C-alpha cells in the first residue's frame, strides 16, 4: 500500500513540473481538475471543467493505464488513448462515463474495446485542447478501481428479527457481508472496511432496511420501496462474517414484513427484485398501551382492558383465510405477565378478527362469569396481550398492567318516605327515606343526603351497618325557603363510596317526589262594592282570594248589625261572592262593617276588611223640556240629586226615567255603575216616538245608587210638541255643464213647518262652502282647472235638513303640459325614420290633439301624432318622424311637440338630436380582413375592435351588436351585444368553432363579421370578411423502422432494423410535429421524443438508447400533430431487448465422437459468469446442419456429418449451431 502512495506522489510531482516547464501553446485551462468517481456496475465517472479564453471550440483526449501502481505522465502515450476529440462545453462542468457495456461506452465518446472490467485498477489522464489549434493541456493523474460486483448475498437464517415484551422495538440482526472485488476482512489496521474501488481510498458497507405493515412476506415487486425504507446506515464497526444488530423503533401492535439489502460504497446492491427469501423476515410487535380499569357494565362489575392495534396489518395476507387472533392472558397473584411466565398465566379469552383498520381501539371485559378466571372483588389482577396474525405469526407479550378490584356495586334500595309525593308542607318538617345495602363488601349505608331542587337540606349518617334495610331522616325548617314547588330527592352512599340516587332509574332507586312549601296565607281583596259605598236592604259583596302555593278551602263574610254581628259563607274561593243583609234598624247614614276570611288547605287564614254607609231615603229630581223638538230630539234638561248629595253618604243617581203620557213611551238615563253623584244633565236626542205635530206631558222619576236596592221618587213634569218637516230649497245659478273661469252662486230656501229655517248652504266640493239663512249668494275662484260639483242644503231650527240641488261645472285656465319621453339625449343619432313618443296632461278640459314639428333640409315640417285617448286629462302620444336623407351626417335634428286642450290652450316641449347615417366596420385583429386561415377542431379565437364611426365623441351612438356568418352554410353566431349601446372602442375575443357554423372537414367558407351601431330608427351595418379552410382530419403516420417484433441485442444492434424512423402525412393544414413513445410491459412511458416538422409530409429518424431500457418487451407508438392541433397516436409495434444470452449446458452426451444423428439435451439459465468455448461447429458448417436455440429442459436432435467432440462444460450462446 505504501508503494501505491509513493507512486501517486511521484506522479503528482511530474505532473506539476510538466505544467510549470511546458510552454503555453493555447489559452485552454482546467478550471476544475480531474476527479474520478467509481459507480455501480463497474462505471468510472471522469469529472472536470475546462475553458478557453480565446473563445474557440474545445475537445479532450482521454488516456487510461491499467496498473496497481500510479504511472508517470510520460507513460500516457497514444497506445493508452481510450477516447479522442470528445467535444466539451467551454466553462461547463463535464462528466465522461467509462462503462463496462460496449455500446454505452462507445455512445459516451470512448473508443471501441475500452470498456472497464470489474476489479480493474485504472489511471486516467485528460488532455484538453482548442479544436483546430492544438496545444494540449493535461489534467492531473487520477486513479479508480472498477467495481461491478455486488456484496455477497445472505444465506439461510443470516437475517433475523426479534420482538420485545411491552414495546414496539424490533431487533434486526444480520451477518456482515463480504465483497467480491476486495475485502480487508477484520484487519484492525484497515478498519473500517477498505475496498479497491479507488486506489488507496477507504470505503464502507451500508445496509438498507425496508418495512411494511402487513402479515404477508415483503415483496419488492408490489411494495412501494422508497416509502418503505426504515433506515440506511453504515455497518460499523465492521467484522466480516460477524453479526450486526439494529433496534428498529417500530409501531406497537402491528404485523411487520421486513426486507434488507447490502450496498457497497459505489452503489452495488445485493439482492434482486423481488428479494430472496433469505433477505426477508417478519415480526409482530405487541401492544404497548394496555390499560385496565373497573366499571359497571349493565349493572355487573367488570374489569375493562383496552389497547390499540393495527388490525389491518394482522389480516393482510391474501393467501390466508384464517382470522387474526388476540389472546388475553391474566393472573390473579399480582405478578406482571411477560414471556417468561406466559405459560403459567391464564389464557382467559381468544378473539378472532378478520378485518379492521390501521388504528383500532380494542376493549375487552373481564367478567365474573369468565369460565377460566372469574372476576372477583379484592383481588389484584394482571393482564397481558399476545397477537397472532392470519398466517400464524405470534407477537411478544404486551406491556402488563395490574388492577386491584373493589366493591363498585351501588346500594340496593333508596325510597322516599315522608313527606309524601304531592304533599304541601309548612314550618319544620321531617324528611325520611328507606334504604338498604346487601353487598357484603359494601357493609351498609354510611350516608343519606336529602335535597330540595338539588340543594342539600340535611345528611343522615351511619344509617345501617351490614346488609339489611333501615330508615334515614332529617328535620328541616321550610320557612327558610321561598314558597313554591320543589323536587324532593335523596342519595344513599355505602362505605365504599358507591351511591344510589332517587329518580336515577337505576335498579332499587325510587322516584323523586314533588312537594309544595306554603308558609304564606292567602291574599284577600274586597272588590265590590268599594269602601264607603251606600247600601240598602241587602247587597252582593265580591272579591278575590289568591294563594300561590296552596288551595283555598272556604271564604267567610262577617258583617255588623244594629245589635251585634252576623256571617255568611261566600260562594267560590279564588273569586268569591256573598250576599250581606242590611239591618232595617240601621239609621240613615249609619256605618256597616264587614270582615272577609279565606282559609287554605295548609290551615292558614287570610283576612280583608271594608265598611259601608246605610242609605234609606229618596232622591230629589225635576225636568226642563223644549216646547218644540224635531227629528234630532229635544234638548231635555234633567236635575236629580241624592238626599245626601252634600254629605258623606251620597249614593248618587243610578237611573232617571222620562215618560210621555200621550203614548207611554219612555227614555231611560242610566249613569252607572258607579252612579252619578247628582247634578244637572242634558239629554239632547229624546223624541218619545211622537209624530209630527203631536203634544205630550213628560214625567220624571229618579232612583239613587244605594246598593243593592236604590230609593225611587217622582219629580215635576213638562209639555212638548214634535216638528219633523224639513225646509224647501233650490240652486238658481250656475247650471249643470257650464264651463266657467269663476263660479257665480245664487240659491234660496223656505221652511213650511213651525220651527223656521236655521241655515242654508252651497258647497263647492273640495273648495269651499257659502252659507246664508233663506238666501245664499257668492263668487268662487277654485284656483285649479277641472270639474267641480255644487251641492245646496237647508236645515230648520229643530234639525230637519234637506239636500235640494246638485250641479257640475268645469273650470279651465291652464294650458296643457307636454313631455317628449323617448328618445332622450345624449348620444341619440337618428337615421331614416324613428318613433318619437311622450306624454301630455291637461287637468282643465283635457288634451285634445298633439302635433310634432321637426327639422328638414329646407326648414321644418309637421306631423300629427297619435293620441291614445283624446280628451283625457293624461294621455300618451307617439309619431313616426322621417329623417330627411338630404341632411348631413352629425347635423342637428330638432323636434317640438305641441299639445292643445278643449279651451284651445297650447303647451310644447323640444329635444335636439343629430343625424347618424354613416356605418362603421369592425377592425379585425385575427384573422385579418381578407385573409385565409386554416381552422381545426380546437377552433380559433376571433379578435376585433368595435366602435361607432364617431366613437368617443358627442356624436357616438355606440355599438349594439356584432355577428359572424358563415356564407357557405348561412349559420350565424352572436359575437357581441350591448343594451344600451357600448360607447367608445370595445375589444372582443370570441371563440370560433367551425362545427358551430355547420362547417365540416374540407369546407372553405367566407366569414362575414358585421357591426351594428346604435343609431335610433334604422341602425347602420358594416361587414368585413375573411376565409376559413376547415381541417378536422388528423395526420397519418407510420413506423418505418424498426420492424414489428424486432429484438435488440446486448451490443445495442438491432436484428433486422436500425434506429427509429417515422413518416407522417397531412394534406390539410400541414404537419407541425412527429414523435414517439415507448411503453414497458406495465404501460408506463420509459422513453419518448418529439421533433417539429412542416409541410404535407415528413420523415425523421430518431436515435434511442434502446438497450439502456433493460431487458423486456416494449411497445413503440408513433404520433403526429398538424398545424391546427389535430393529431395523436397513429401506429405502433412491439420489440424486445435482450442483452444477456441463456447459459446452455449439454448434459448428454458428456463427451462423444458422433456420426449421423445425435440426440442432445440439457438446460439453460441466466448466467452469473461466462466461460470460453471449444470445438463447437460455427455458422460456416456444411449445408444440412441446422441452427438450434434450446430452451429449459429442451431435447433437440442435431444431424452432424464427420467427427465432432463435445466439450464437458457449459458454454454461453445466443444461438447454438
Residue 539 and residue 502 in one domain: no
∠1088-1093-1095 over CA atoms, to 5°? Answer: 145
Residue 477 CA to residue 164 CA, distance in Å, equals 68
**pLDDT exceeding 90 applies to what percent of the chain?**
58
Residue range 408-446, pLDDT digits in tens: 888 888 999 999 999 999 899 999 999 998 666 567 899
Cβ contacts of 859 within 8 Å, gap of 6 or more:
none
Pick from 686-700, 727-741, 1085-1099 the range whose average pLDDT is largest.
Answer: 1085-1099
Q: What is the pLDDT of residues 139-163, one digit of tens each?
A: 999 998 888 888 888 889 999 999 9
pLDDT value for 575? 96
Q: Pick the range with the lowest mean pLDDT from 139-153, 917-931, 1043-1057.
A: 1043-1057
Res. 298: pLDDT tops 70:
yes
- What's the rounded mean pLDDT across residues 211-225? 82
Whether 199 is in a domain gets the answer no
Can you give the pLDDT at residue 1164?
39
Whether 192 maps to a domain, the answer reads no
Same domain, 441 and 554: no
The confidence score (pLDDT) of residue 439 equals 61
On whether both 163 and 278 belong to a single domain, the answer is yes
* Confidence tier at 739 by pLDDT (50, 70, 90): confident
pLDDT at 992 over 50: yes
pLDDT confidence of residue 677: 63
Using an 8 Å Cβ cutoff, are 1194 and 1154 in contact? no
- Residues 234, 317: one domain? no
According to DSSP, the residues that pair with 609 across neighbouring strands are 595
Query: Is 267 part of a structural domain of the chain?
Result: yes
279 and 217, same domain (yes or no) = yes
Same domain, 505 and 563: no
Residue, of 984 and 1209, whose pLDDT is higher: 984
Mean pLDDT to the nearest integer, 744-757: 87
Closest CA to 145 of 110, 109, 183, 191: 183
- What is the pLDDT, as a whole number, of residue 672? 67
**Do residues 274 and 295 share a domain?**
no
Residues 119, 22 share a domain: yes
pLDDT digits (tens, 9 = 90+) for 274-297: 788 889 999 999 999 999 999 989
Confidence at residue 865, expressed as pLDDT on a 0 to 100 scale:
94
Q: Is residue 1110, in this structure, part of any structural domain at all?
A: yes
Whether residue 195 lies inside any domain: the answer is no
- Lowest pLDDT segment from 18-22, 178-182, 349-353, 870-874: 18-22
Strand ranges for 437-564 from DSSP E: 445-452, 455-461, 469-477, 484-494, 499-501, 513-517, 523-528, 534-536, 538-546, 552-560
Considering the domain boundaries, does residue 988 fall inside one?
yes
1181 has a pLDDT exceeding 70: no
User: Parallel, antiparallel, or unpaired: how do β-strands 707-708 and 534-536 relate?
Assistant: parallel
> According to the per-residue pLDDT averaged within each range, which of 316-325, 921-930, 1181-1190 is highest?
921-930
Tell me the whole-structure pTM to 2 decimals. 0.43
- Residue that is last in its domain, among 894, 915, 936: 915
Average per-residue pLDDT in the chain? 85
Q: Exposed (0-12), middle (13-18) or buried (19+): which is 1186, by Cβ within 10 Å?
A: exposed
* Residue 808: all three cell numbers together: 257640475
Average pLDDT over residues 642-668: 87
pLDDT band at residue 1188 using 50, 70 and 90 as cut-offs: very low
Looking at residue 511, its pLDDT comes to 97
Q: How many Å apart are CA 569 and CA 579, to the nearest integer?
A: 9
Domain that holds residue 1100: 1036-1137
Domain match, 579 and 631 both: no
Which of 751-755, 975-979, 1088-1092, 1131-1135 is predicted least confidently? Answer: 751-755
In this prediction, residues 337-347 reach a mean pLDDT of 95
- 139 with 164, same domain: the answer is no
Residue 1177 lies in a domain: yes
- Where among 1137, 1162, 1197 does a domain terminate? 1137
CB-CB contact of 649 with 614 (8 Å): yes
Distances (CA, A) of 1148 to 1145, 1156, 1158, 1200: 9, 16, 10, 15
> According to the model, what pLDDT value does residue 201 have?
40
For strand 591-600 and strand 628-629, is the pairing parallel, antiparallel, or unpaired?
unpaired
Residue 1192: pLDDT over 90? no
Asked if the structure places residue 198 within a domain, the reply is: no
Q: Looking at the predicted structure, is the pLDDT value of residue 1146 above 80?
A: no
The pLDDT of residue 1190 is 43
Residue 88 belongs to domain with CATH number: 2.60.40.10
DSSP string, 966-1001: ETTT--EEEEEEEEEEEPS-EEEEEEE-GGGGT--T
Check residues 1031 and 202 and name the one with the higher pLDDT. 1031
**Domain at 929, CATH number:** 2.60.40
- pLDDT at position 24: 44
Residue 810 has pLDDT above 80, yes or no: yes
Number of domains in the chain: 11
User: Is 139 found in the same domain as 10?
Assistant: yes
In the listed set 704, 722, 740, which residue is the last one of a domain according to the structure? Answer: 722
Same domain, 803 and 828: no
pLDDT of residue 1092: 93
Going by DSSP bridges, is the β-strand pair 923-926/565-569 parallel, antiparallel, or unpaired? Answer: unpaired
**C-alpha span between 821 and 836 (Å, rounded):** 8
Amino acid at each position: 500500500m505504501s508503494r501505491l502512495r509513493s507512486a501517486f506522489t511521484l506522479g503528482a510531482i511530474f505532473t506539476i513540473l510538466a505544467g510549470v516547464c511546458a510552454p503555453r501553446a493555447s489559452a485552454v485551462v482546467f478550471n476544475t481538475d480531474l476527479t474520478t468517481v467509481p459507480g455501480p456496475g463497474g462505471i468510472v465517472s471522469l469529472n472536470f471543467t475546462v475553458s478557453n479564453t480565446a473563445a474557440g471550440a474545445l475537445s479532450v483526449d482521454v488516456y487510461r493505464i491499467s496498473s496497481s501502481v500510479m504511472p508517470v505522465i510520460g507513460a500516457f502515450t497514444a497506445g493508452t488513448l481510450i477516447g479522442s476529440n470528445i467535444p466539451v462545453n467551454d466553462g461547463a462542468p463535464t462528466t465522461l462515463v467509462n462503462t463496462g457495456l460496449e455500446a454505452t461506452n462507445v455512445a459516451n465518446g470512448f473508443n471501441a474495446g475500452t470498456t472497464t472490467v470489474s476489479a480493474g485498477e485504472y489511471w486516467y489522464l485528460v488532455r484538453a485542447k482548442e479544436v483546430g489549434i492544438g496545444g494540449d493541456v493535461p489534467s492531473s493523474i487520477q486513479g479508480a478501481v472498477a467495481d461491478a460486483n455486488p456484496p455477497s448475498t445472505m444465506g439461510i437464517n443470516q437475517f433475523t428479527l426479534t420482538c420485545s415484551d411491552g414495546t414496539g422495538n424490533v431487533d434486526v440482526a444480520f451477518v456482515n457481508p463480504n465483497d467480491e472485488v476486495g475485502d480487508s476482512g477484520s484487519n484492525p489496521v484497515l478498519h473500517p472496511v477498505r475496498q479497491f474501488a479507488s486506489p488507496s481510498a477507504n470505503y464502507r458497507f451500508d445496509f438498507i432496511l425496508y418495512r411494511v405493515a402487513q402479515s404477508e412476506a415483503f415483496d419488492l415487486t408490489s411494495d412501494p420501496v422508497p416509502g418503505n425504507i426504515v433506515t440506511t446506515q453504515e455497518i460499523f464497526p465492521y467484522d466480516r462474517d460477524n453479526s450486526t444488530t439494529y433496534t428498529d423503533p417500530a409501531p406497537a401492535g402491528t404485523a411487520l414484513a421486513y426486507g434488507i439489502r447490502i450496498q457497497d460504497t459505489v452503489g452495488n446492491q445485493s439482492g434482486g427484485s423481488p428479494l430472496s427469501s433469505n433477505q426477508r423476515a417478519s415480526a409482530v410487535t405487541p401492544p404497548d398501551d394496555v390499560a385496565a380499569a373497573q366499571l359497571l357494565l349493565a349493572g355487573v362489575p367488570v374489569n375493562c382492558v383496552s389497547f390499540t392495534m393495527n388490525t389491518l396489518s394482522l389480516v393482510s395476507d391474501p393467501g390466508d383465510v384464517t382470522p387474526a387472533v388476540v389472546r388475553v392472558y391474566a393472573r390473579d397473584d399480582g405478578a406482571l405477565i411477560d414471556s417468561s411466565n406466559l405459560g403459567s398465566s391464564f389464557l382467559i379469552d381468544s378473539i378472532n378478527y378478520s378485518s379492521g383498520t390501521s388504528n383500532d381501539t380494542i376493549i375487552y371485559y373481564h367478567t365474573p362469569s369468565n369460565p377460566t378466571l372469574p372476576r372477583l372483588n379484592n383481588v389484584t389482577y394482571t393482564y397481558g396481550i399476545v397477537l397472532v396474525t392470519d398466517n400464524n405469526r405470534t407477537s411478544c407479550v404486551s406491556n402488563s398492567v395490574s388492577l386491584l378490584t373493589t366493591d363498585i356495586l351501588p346500594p340496593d334500595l333508596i325510597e322516599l318516605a315522608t313527606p309524601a309525593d304531592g304533599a304541601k308542607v309548612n314550618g319544620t318538617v321531617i324528611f325520611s327515606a328507606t334504604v338498604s345495602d346487601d353487598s357484603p363488601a359494601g357493609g351498609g349505608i354510611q350516608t343519606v343526603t336529602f335535597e330540595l331542587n338539588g340543594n342539600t337540606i340535611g345528611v343522615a349518617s351511619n344509617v345501617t351497618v351490614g346488609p339489611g334495610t333501615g330508615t334515614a331522616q332529617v328535620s328541616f325548617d321550610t320557612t327558610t325557603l321561598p314558597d313554591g314547588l320543589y323536587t324532593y330527592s335523596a342519595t344513599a352512599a355505602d362505605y365504599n363510596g358507591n351511591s344510589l340516587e332517587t329518580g336515577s332509574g337505576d335498579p332499587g332507586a325510587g322516584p323523586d317526589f314533588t312537594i309544595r312549601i306554603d308558609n304564606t296565607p292567602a291574599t284577600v281583596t274586597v272588590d265590590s262594592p268599594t269602601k264607603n259605598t251606600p247600601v240598602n236592604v241587602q247587597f252582593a259583596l265580591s272579591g278575590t282570594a289568591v294563594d300561590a302555593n296552596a288551595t283555598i278551602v272556604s271564604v267567610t263574610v262577617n258583617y255588623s248589625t244594629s245589635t251585634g254581628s252576623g256571617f255568611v259563607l261566600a260562594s267560590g274561593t279564588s273569586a268569591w261572592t256573598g250576599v250581606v243583609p242590611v239591618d232595617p234598624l240601621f239609621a240613615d247614614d249609619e256605618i256597616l262593617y264587614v270582615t272577609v276570611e279565606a282559609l287554605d288547605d295548609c290551615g292558614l287564614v287570610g283576612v280583608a276588611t271594608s265598611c259601608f254607609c246605610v242609605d234609606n231615603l229618596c232622591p230629589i229630581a225635576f225636568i226642563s223640556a223644549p216646547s218644540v223638538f224635531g227629528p234630532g230630539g229635544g234638548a231635555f234638561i234633567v236635575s236629580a240629586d241624592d238626599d245626601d248629595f252634600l254629605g258623606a253618604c251620597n249614593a248618587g243617581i243610578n237611573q232617571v226615567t222620562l215618560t210621555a203620557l200621550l203614548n207611554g213611551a219612555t227614555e231611560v238615563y242610566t249613569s252607572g255603575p258607579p252612579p252619578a253623584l247628582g247634578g244637572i244633565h242634558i239629554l239632547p236626542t229624546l223624541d218619545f216616538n211622537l209624530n209630527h205635530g203631536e203634544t205630550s206631558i213628560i214625567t220624571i222619576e229618579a232612583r239613587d245608587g244605594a246598593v243593592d236596592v236604590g230609593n225611587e221618587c217622582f219629580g215635576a213634569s213638562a209639555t212638548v210638541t214634535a216638528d219633523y218637516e224639513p225646509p224647501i230649497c233650490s240652486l238658481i245659478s250656475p247650471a249643470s255643464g257650464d264651463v266657467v273661469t269663476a263660479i257665480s252662486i245664487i240659491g234660496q230656501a223656505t221652511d213650511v213647518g213651525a220651527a223656521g229655517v236655521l241655515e242654508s248652504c252651497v258647497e263647492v266640493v273640495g273648495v269651499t262652502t257659502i252659507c246664508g239663512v233663506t238666501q245664499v249668494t257668492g263668487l268662487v275662484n277654485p284656483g285649479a282647472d277641472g270639474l267641480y260639483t255644487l251641492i245646496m242644503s237647508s236645515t230648520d231650527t229643530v234639525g230637519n235638513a234637506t239636500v235640494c240641488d246638485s250641479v257640475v261645472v268645469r273650470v279651465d285656465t291652464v294650458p296643457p303640459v307636454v313631455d317628449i319621453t323617448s328618445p332622450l339625449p345624449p348620444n341619440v343619432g337618428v337615421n331614416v325614420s324613428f318613433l318619437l313618443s311622450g306624454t301630455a296632461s291637461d287637468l282643465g278640459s283635457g288634451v285634445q290633439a298633439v302635433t310634432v314639428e321637426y327639422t328638414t333640409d329646407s326648414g321644418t315640417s309637421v306631423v300629427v301624432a297619435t293620441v291614445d285617448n283624446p280628451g283625457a286629462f293624461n294621455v300618451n302620444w307617439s309619431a313616426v318622424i322621417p329623417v330627411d336623407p338630404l341632411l348631413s351626417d352629425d347635423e342637428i335634428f330638432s323636434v317640438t311637440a305641441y299639445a292643445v286642450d278643449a279651451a284651445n290652450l297650447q303647451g310644447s316641449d323640444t329635444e335636439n338630436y343629430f343625424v347618424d347615417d354613416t356605418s362603421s366596420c369592425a377592425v379585425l385583429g385575427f384573422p385579418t380582413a381578407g385573409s385565409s386561415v386554416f381552422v381545426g377542431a380546437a377552433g380559433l379565437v376571433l379578435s376585433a375592435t368595435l366602435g361607432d364611426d364617431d366613437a368617443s365623441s358627442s356624436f357616438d351612438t355606440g355599438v349594439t351588436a356584432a355577428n359572424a356568418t358563415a356564407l357557405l352554410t348561412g349559420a350565424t353566431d352572436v359575437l357581441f351585444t350591448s343594451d344600451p349601446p357600448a360607447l367608445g372602442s370595445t375589444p372582443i375575443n370570441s371563440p370560433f368553432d367551425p362545427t358551430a357554423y355547420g362547417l365540416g372537414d374540407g369546407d372553405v367558407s367566407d366569414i362575414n363579421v358585421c357591426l351594428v351601431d346604435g343609431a335610433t330608427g334604422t341602425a347602420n351595418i358594416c361587414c368585413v370578411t375573411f376565409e376559413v379552410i376547415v381541417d378536422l382530419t388528423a395526420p397519418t403516420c407510420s413506423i418505418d423502422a424498426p420492424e414489428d417484433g424486432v429484438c435488440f441485442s446486448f451490443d445495442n444492434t438491432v436484428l433486422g432494423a436500425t434506429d427509429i424512423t417515422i413518416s407522417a402525412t397531412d394534406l390539410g393544414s400541414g404537419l407541425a410535429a412527429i414523435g414517439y413513445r415507448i411503453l414497458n410491459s406495465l404501460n408506463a412511458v420509459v422513453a419518448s421524443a418529439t421533433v417539429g416538422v412542416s409541410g404535407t409530409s415528413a420523415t425523421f429518424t430518431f436515435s434511442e438508447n434502446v438497450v439502456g431500457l433493460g431487458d423486456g418487451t416494449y411497445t413503440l407508438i408513433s404520433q403526429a400533430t398538424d398545424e391546427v392541433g389535430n393529431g395523436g397516436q397513429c401506429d405502433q409495434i412491439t420489440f424486445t431487448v435482450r442483452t444477456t444470452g441463456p447459459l446452455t449446458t449439454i448434459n448428454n452426451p458428456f463427451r462423444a465422437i458422433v456420426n449421423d444423428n445425435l440426440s442432445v439435451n440439457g438446460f439453460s439459465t441466466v448466467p452469473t459468469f461466462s466461460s470460453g468455448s471449444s470445438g463447437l461447429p460455427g455458422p460456416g458448417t456444411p449445408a444440412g446442419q441446422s441452427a438450434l436455440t434450446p430452451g429449459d429442459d429442451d431435447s433437440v436432435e442435431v444431424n452432424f456429418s464427420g467427427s465432432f467432440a463435445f466439450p464437458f462444460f457449459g458454454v454461453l450462446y445466443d444461438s447454438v449451431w
